Structure 1
Amino acid sequence: MMNADPQMSQAGSLDDVIDLLFNPRHNAAGKFPDWCAVFRDSAVRARRAPVVLPRLWETSDESAYYVIARRANEAAVVRELLVAFVGPSMVKTGYDIPVALDHGDAIESAIAVHFGPLGTFRLRAPRDKRKALHAALTRMLNLVENSPQRAWTAPKALGRLLTDFESALVGGAPQVAADILEQIGRQGGLSVANLKHLQIKRLAIMGQAAELLALPGLREVLLQDPPRVVKDMVLSAVHATCIEPALAQGSLRMACEALAQPQVPIAILAEEDPTQFGDTAATALLVGLLARGQEEDLARGIKALDAVERSSAVPPILDRFRSRVVSPRSAEADGTTQVSGSAFLVTADTADSAAPWWPESWKELLAAVAEGDKAALRICRDMEAAGGIELPLSADAAADAVLANLLSGLNDSGYENVWRHALSPLLQEVARSGLSLPLTLAQITTSSIGQRRDPANLAVLDLLLELFLRTSPSAGDYDEFLEHLTMRVQEWVASETASQALDFVDRLAAFAAPDQQVRSQAVLELLAPLHRHAHRLDKASLASACSLSHELELGLDWPVWQEPSNDVETVTILPAHVLVYGMDKGVLDRVQHWMAEQYPQVKLSLSADKVGSTQLREIARHADFCVLITQCATHAAANFITQHAQAVVYPKGAGSVSVVRATVDALQHHSTQSAPAQGRRRARNA
């Protein structure tokens, strides 16, 4: 990679940037002005169409097109355009996920400086598709710029968008959540503070602690006393970026000094009751007390955590403060409350958590949420915080029927309240407890029948299928559930959604079926649209479809993958080390089995740890990249991995096929980047 040119970083106007991007010194495509003319003219003159930048490398035969959103909130629009005009018929990868720009590369650095780092797609141009790709992108620019202006997303009520956002996060599709967040921002109707809360939640679930702390306006949000779940996420990010690295070296002094860094929001380290937060957030509060010299308050905090059996939140390096004698003080005089003999300041949020009403069951909680009860909504928010309060589920079959009947009787507004506020904590509790609630899960699935099978709902449906199959359902329940699952498949199963459809098939194959014929029929309905367009599938999806068809003895005859001809650019997967993290061990095992068969040269490490460890740190540091499945993942583990991994990849879904697809795509990119460097090393050695 060439180093970034200072001239490119200093370019101000769009004209200057375009001139530099097409400069033959940095981009060999600039030597062919006639070929580039349509893209140069559009980049300078167009106002609505994205920027398209062709690129050639003189040192290799590689070529590519960068398709760049002109504004940060238009990445989702550009993706829809590329799906429609070029993918997947012409380009197998790169059209659906923005690329991580390399600031050490002159072109990519200039793109990031002028347009931002998050809205650029990089399409590799196979030699036999270059003319067709050039024509398709030219057609796209002309149509977008000259056609009547239109909205690229179907209008939805704000409540529906917020529900979809929560669905995408609980289903393990953070990229889908980002698209929905863009739409919410464009449509309006949400306060700036609440929009920031959603951004914080998404970044926390993805484990992007540094990005969370760098979020513009974060300090102002914290000064407005946000909900406790927001504070928990920010404190966990402070722990991941500042405290954990120092404690790993055994240095409490370094941890305290790290809290003085500019990106740390000091307001969040104000006195809070650590027992009301998850373990990593509580640790951040304790170290914050020490950094401010409040050692007596630190001792009180440790004793309060010990009193509620939360000693795991206290790092061993703070053990010496347990024996510290604290001076007695009057709770009434200084505005504190007694927590098992220790005094701690009560904030408004903490006082609210002591509200007299407490649900006796999930039925009572869901009924209150459906009515919009503020106390019930607060309890659901607290449940989502790492280490938050829990409301145990009943294993009794009658309790399952009661929950299902409650959900079936909700009106539209009550259903949306439950889906938006209570679905995530309910499904996480089902996953954590391992209890069998087939009727409740089937009813949630039934309630989603009328919804459009968009990416957010598909992600939740995947999680519901996994939890339902764990319950060992009866043949009747199994038949009814699969009927709901496969309803309207013709509306959403296509080559660009192959990974999600194959995720469903893979889950059905992984569990015993009470009725083999019902399962075979459901699988055939999911695979039929893919089978008709098998030539459009990428290698990983086609291999997965063929393998699953053979395993389930469906008798489908899939075409053999045709390797590109010799005159087409190919990417050889080089040996690499990949860490795959997720909470579903079944998915992890199936990913490992498939990768071992297809790419034995790739070393795969798996982890389902809920918190960081020395072993996980070493694996993350030495892996070439990590594939992070966010479905049901804890903030602590996600933050820990992203802090130590060289690079992080997020699959589009939480099933094994989506994870394999993301892994293979990342391996291809890694191999493309590594091959020139290895060639230079071999040349030097020669």
Structure 2
Amino acid sequence: MTAQEQMDSWQRFIASFYSGPNTIETKRATVSSLIEQGRQAWLAQPSRPLLLPAELGSWPCWYVICPDRAQATWIRDLIRAAAGSWIDFDGRPIPPDSRKVLDPPVNELLAGTGVAYRFLTARDSVSNEKVLAALTQLGRTLTHRPFRRIELTPHLGRLLTDFSGACAAGAEGLAARSLGLLENDHRISGINRLFLKVQFLAAFERWEELDALPELRDLFNMEDRPALVSDALARRVISGLPESVSTQYFLENAEGALVPSVAAIRSAAGAAYYAFWSLSNGESDSRVTDRLKVSGWIDAARRRSDLAEILAGNAQPVDVSAEPFNTGAVRQALGEGRVDAAVEILQRASPAEDLLPLLLQAFVKGMSEQAFTLLREWKNALGPALVEKHLAQVGQSPASAALDLSLASAVTRIFGGSLPATDREREMEILRGNWLAEVMRPGQLQNVIEVAMELLNSGHESAVELVDALLDLEIDIVRTGQFMVGLEGLRELVITAWVIVDESGQKRRAERVLDLISRTLDAGISPSDYKRIVEDLLGRWEPFLTAAGFSFSLETIEVLAAYRPAGIDVLDTFAAVILSRVSIHDLRRLDRSSIDTAVSLAPEFGLQVPVLEQATFAVADELPAADLQGSVAIYSLMEAATRRARDILIQRFPGLRVVMVSDKVATDALRNAADTSDLLVIADRAATHAATDALRRARGGRPLEYATGKGTASLVDAVLRGAQALSSASP
């Protein structure tokens, strides 16, 4: 924009802003001075934030205009610091499409490039003088201390953890948002973006989109794929098979050795693919059955009726130890992607340097327990130096540290020793890549739990990092979709450990713990265990008793309330700690959806929160607002939260029709709600995959919003985000 265009836009803005409902006297010295100060700020290069007074229906009002969107948080905090106790400021920016009072000329001036705020002050001369003095001084300060842009790069590991957790939990909306951030992150290479995309599409069974990827054929032909990508491709193949097929049919329609070892299995579909691939390449059903039993995947493979018959365990075991060793057979097995078969043949050979490359090839491709065990034996026989040399040649030198360690021992080494932080992080990456294969084997998860309990009881300085690792392990197990003995114990340990060792008040870790608690409750627990969990949370909740933690606290109450056993009243105490802190003054700092939720939720615990009519709100709430019209369908398995959201929305928008849907499977009622509503909202973090998939398919390309959480406020906010799909009418 040229200087003349800037001047013209300013003059049009001032003429429009100081007319109509704005009755303030512009000839007053203080007002004209602020207008001139604003003009200079707008014409500066670059434009600076500006503050302008107004008067609406005898209410003193201020507009704060930020030409650069990046200034929004900075200016919001400065306003609160300068005049926070004298003004009614909720920190919410003016919507870019707002048609209320003086918003249109402000938004026209910004033209979508900045952010603006507005707030009321009291109708009191003393208060107005205080606010005027504070904001005038703030305007002068902004003239001499311009905004300094700070670019904060999110931690890549956190982005990946959020993505992985969302995929495992079936939260498609959150997974899509996380994927979008990762796809636009310069630290992610092109091939890794593709890997993440494939995992996302497979996690939510979007097979048509996966089939349409132009790189799909390259992925199948790639030799070095991450296990999760191979698992995603295996799920695609298995999903397209008829209900019952022969091994020959599978061989003719498979896409290669996607799952070369039991250690590479990550899901029931992966187990089925492994079994089919091994059997179709001539391996005996007894050998395949034994491997799947030892690795903990036999029940998953037997979910398919065709495999259940083959892997019934009726065949006579094959005594491979009596067969002569054959180097050619090893090479053939490796070439066909049958790593476990190659290792079994190598078990019959005497340790020899010329065979070591073959063993290392099997080790790198499979990372199975058999390969680890055999490599340890050969390391003892041939000497560590020789094995280390060959490991380095195949780029696996760091993994050698794990060759002498079981999973439980590796956990002790990483979190119970004195490893430097960088070494601990590096070895954790190795551990994460291999721990699922070990904990799937019967009894191994319990060993890890016992070791972790000892470490946590010892009060080691890395205890909080151990909690993070256990959270990662739990979500990896959830992703498999398999029931695992010991999972309940792992979850119990994580909750207790977080309460005891985490004094950081970190909200993100607390949110992950709440997700784990939700899965614990959904699996079913005794009333005494429920009581213990709530009491543990109550003892750790002080850092979240703030305005910033209020919405998270509300969702925690709602999640716990959804599973509360009869006769257990400890949740009343927890809710009282959170809800009783809300006062009239807090209404100015908390978002409207959270306050509405608190008002609706409080009577369930014999409490009362100040209602909205008792507080003075910003201009947006003081003046008439458009009434949303049309129909909204909300899907969530937390029916109480959906009911509260429906009541709140109807109270705020009497012309809105809200339909509640809570079916766990695809039904005609569910499809009809998706097909006939103007807007569909899905709480995919409180849903089943079968239902959400049916809703998404029935919806097609029509307006759909995913709630960011499980609670009432997130449902209301999702409806408001999708409000453009609803007609508006002025009351």
TM-score interval for Structure 1 and Structure 2 normalised by the shorter chain: 0.5 to 0.7
Equivalent residue number for residue 176 of structure 2: 207
Q: Unaligned 5+ residue runs, structure 1?
A: 1-10, 57-61, 174-201, 248-254, 288-295, 314-321
Whether contact under 8 Å (1:55, 1:65) holds in the other structure is no
| Whole-angstrom distance in 1 between the partners of 2:625 and 2:62 | 13
**SS at 1:380's partner residue?**
helix
Query: Could you tell me which of 709, 714, 718 is aligned with 1:663?
Result: 718
Equivalent residue number for residue 376 of structure 2: none
Query: Relative to 1, partners in 2 of residues 1:93 and 1:337: Cα closer, same or farther, differing over 3 Å?
Result: farther
Q: How far apart are residue 530 of structure 1 and its match?
A: 1.5
| Whole-angstrom distance in 1 between the partners of 2:39 and 2:62 | 17
Q: How far apart are residue 458 of structure 1 and its match?
A: 4.1
Q: Which amino acid aligns with 2:622?
A: V
- Corresponding pairs, count: 563
| Whole-angstrom distance in 1 between the partners of 2:438 and 2:76 | 39
Equivalent residue number for residue 498 of structure 2: 445
**SS at 2:337's partner residue?**
strand
- Which of structures 1 and 2 has the bigger CA Rg? 2
Q: Residue by residue, what CA displacement relative to the aligned partner does 1:460-492 show, whole Å, maximum 9, x if unpaired?
A: 343354356556356588357525534462x54
Query: Are 2:88 and 1:90 equivalent residues in the alignment?
Result: yes
Whether contact under 8 Å (1:377, 1:421) holds in the other structure is no
1:388-537 pair list within 5 angstroms: 391=440, 403-409=452-458, 411-413=460-462, 415-416=464-465, 418-427=466-475, 429=477, 433=483, 436-437=488-489, 439-447=492-500, 449-452=502-505, 454-467=506-519, 469=521, 472=525, 475=528, 478=531, 482-487=535-540, 489=542, 491-512=543-564, 516=568, 518-531=570-583, 533=585, 535-536=587-588
Query: Could you tell me which of 623, 642, 652 is aligned with 1:569?
Result: 623
Whether contact under 8 Å (2:633, 2:677) holds in the other structure is no
1:335-374 pair list within 5 angstroms: 336-339=335-338, 351=365, 353=367, 356-357=371-372, 366-367=411-412, 370=415, 372=424
Query: Are 2:196 and 1:233 equivalent residues in the alignment?
Result: yes
Query: Relative to 1, partners in 2 of residues 1:408 and 1:24: Cα closer, same or farther, differing over 3 Å?
Result: farther
Whether contact under 8 Å (1:49, 1:141) holds in the other structure is no
TM-score scaled by length of structure 2: 0.55
Greater RCO (Cα-Cα under 8 Å, separation 6 or more): 1
Query: Relative to 1, partners in 2 of residues 1:213 and 1:545: Cα closer, same or farther, differing over 3 Å?
Result: closer
Equivalent residue number for residue 703 of structure 2: 646
Q: How far apart are residue 450 of structure 1 and its match?
A: 1.2
| Whole-angstrom distance in 2 between the partners of 1:571 and 1:539 | 14
Query: Are 2:189 and 1:221 equivalent residues in the alignment?
Result: yes
Equivalent residue number for residue 644 of structure 2: 594
Q: Which amino acid aligns with 1:550?
A: P
Equivalent residue number for residue 190 of structure 1: none
Q: How far apart are residue 127 of structure 1 and its match?
A: 11
* Aligned sequence identity (%): 13
1:58-207 pair list within 5 angstroms: 67=66, 69=68, 71=70, 77=74, 90-92=88-90, 94-95=92-93, 121=115, 123=117, 142-143=140-141, 146=144, 205-207=174-176
Query: Could you tell me which of 597, 622, 645 is aligned with 1:544?
Result: 597
Query: Relative to 1, partners in 2 of residues 1:495 and 1:373: Cα closer, same or farther, differing over 3 Å?
Result: closer
Q: Residue by residue, what CA displacement relative to the aligned partner does 1:30-71 show, whole Å, maximum 9, x if unpaired?
A: 989967654453344387966889999xxxxx9986645465
Equivalent residue number for residue 24 of structure 1: 12
| Whole-angstrom distance in 2 between the partners of 1:310 and 1:349 | 21
Q: How far apart are residue 550 of structure 1 and its match?
A: 1.8
Query: Relative to 1, partners in 2 of residues 1:246 and 1:655: Cα closer, same or farther, differing over 3 Å?
Result: closer
Q: How far apart are residue 594 of structure 1 and its match?
A: 0.9
**SS at 1:503's partner residue?**
helix
| Whole-angstrom distance in 2 between the partners of 1:55 and 1:637 | 50
Q: How far apart are residue 551 of structure 1 and its match?
A: 1.4
Query: Relative to 1, partners in 2 of residues 1:65 and 1:562: Cα closer, same or farther, differing over 3 Å?
Result: same
Whether contact under 8 Å (1:54, 1:64) holds in the other structure is yes
Q: How far apart are residue 208 of structure 1 and its match?
A: 4.2
| Whole-angstrom distance in 1 between the partners of 2:208 and 2:11 | 43
Q: How far apart are residue 90 of structure 1 and its match?
A: 3.2
Q: Residue by residue, what CA displacement relative to the aligned partner does 1:89-145 show, whole Å, maximum 9, x if unpaired?
A: 7355734x997999xx999799688x5xxxx5564667999x989998776655566
Query: Could you tell me which of 252, 255, 263 is aligned with 1:301?
Result: 255
Query: Relative to 1, partners in 2 of residues 1:498 and 1:304: Cα closer, same or farther, differing over 3 Å?
Result: closer
Q: How far apart are residue 502 of structure 1 and its match?
A: 1.7
Q: How far apart are residue 405 of structure 1 and its match?
A: 3.9
Q: Which amino acid aligns with 2:574?
A: A
**SS at 1:412's partner residue?**
coil
| Whole-angstrom distance in 2 between the partners of 1:136 and 1:145 | 15
Q: Which amino acid aligns with 1:207?
A: A
1:319-338 pair list within 5 angstroms: 332=331, 336-338=335-337
Q: How far apart are residue 670 of structure 1 and its match?
A: 3.9
| Whole-angstrom distance in 1 between the partners of 2:252 and 2:476 | 32
Whether contact under 8 Å (1:55, 1:64) holds in the other structure is yes
| Whole-angstrom distance in 2 between the partners of 1:299 and 1:602 | 49
| Whole-angstrom distance in 2 between the partners of 1:620 and 1:362 | 50
Q: How far apart are residue 353 of structure 1 and its match?
A: 4.8
| Whole-angstrom distance in 2 between the partners of 1:647 and 1:80 | 33
Q: Residue by residue, what CA displacement relative to the aligned partner does 1:604-652 show, whole Å, maximum 9, x if unpaired?
A: 46579899x9987993996536456569999x9799799946364653x
Q: Which amino acid aligns with 1:24?
A: R
Whether contact under 8 Å (2:464, 2:501) holds in the other structure is no
Query: Relative to 1, partners in 2 of residues 1:519 and 1:409: Cα closer, same or farther, differing over 3 Å?
Result: same
Equivalent residue number for residue 182 of structure 1: none
Q: How far apart are residue 542 of structure 1 and its match?
A: 3.6
**SS at 1:466's partner residue?**
helix
| Whole-angstrom distance in 2 between the partners of 1:347 and 1:411 | 38
Q: How far apart are residue 451 of structure 1 and its match?
A: 0.5
Q: How far apart are residue 279 of structure 1 and its match?
A: 6.4
Q: Which amino acid aligns with 2:415?
A: A
Q: Which amino acid aligns with 2:222?
A: E
Q: Which amino acid aligns with 2:88?
A: M
Equivalent residue number for residue 3 of structure 1: none
**SS at 2:525's partner residue?**
coil
Q: Which amino acid aligns with 2:464?
A: Y
Q: How far apart are residue 662 of structure 1 and its match?
A: 1.9
Query: Relative to 1, partners in 2 of residues 1:552 and 1:101: Cα closer, same or farther, differing over 3 Å?
Result: closer
Q: How far apart are residue 529 of structure 1 and its match?
A: 2.0
Q: How far apart are residue 500 of structure 1 and its match?
A: 1.7
TM-score scaled by length of structure 1: 0.58
Whether contact under 8 Å (2:464, 2:498) holds in the other structure is no
Q: How far apart are residue 210 of structure 1 and its match?
A: 8.5
Equivalent residue number for residue 606 of structure 2: 553
Q: How far apart are residue 207 of structure 1 and its match?
A: 0.6
Whether contact under 8 Å (1:363, 1:406) holds in the other structure is no
| Whole-angstrom distance in 2 between the partners of 1:661 and 1:142 | 40
Whether contact under 8 Å (1:66, 1:122) holds in the other structure is yes
What is the alpha-carbon root mean square deviation over aligned residues? Answer: 6.7
| Whole-angstrom distance in 2 between the partners of 1:29 and 1:265 | 56
